[in-house]
Amino acid sequence: AQSVAQPEDQVNVAEGNPLTVKCTYSVSGNPYLFWYVQYPNRGLQFLLKYITGDNLVKGSYGFEAEFNKSQTSFHLKKPSALVSDSALYFCAVRVYGSSNTGKLIFGQGTTLQVKP
Distance (Å, whole) CA 110 – CA 56 = 21
Site residues for other proteins, window 31-50 (CB under 8 A)? Answer: 32, 34, 36, 41-46, 49
**Closest to 23 in 3D by CA, of 106, 80, 86, 83:** 106
In the bound state with other proteins, the residue whose beta carbon lies nearer, of 59 and 78, is 59
Q: What are phi and psi of 62, to 5 degrees?
A: 80, 5
Q: Which is nearer to other proteins, 48 or 114 (CB)?
A: 48
**Considering only residues 61-90, where is the footprint of other proteins by CB under 8 A?**
90
What is the enclosing helix (H) or strand (E) of 50? strand 44-50
Where do contacts with other proteins occur on this chain (CB under 8 A)?
32, 34, 36, 41-46, 49, 51, 90, 94, 97-99, 101-109
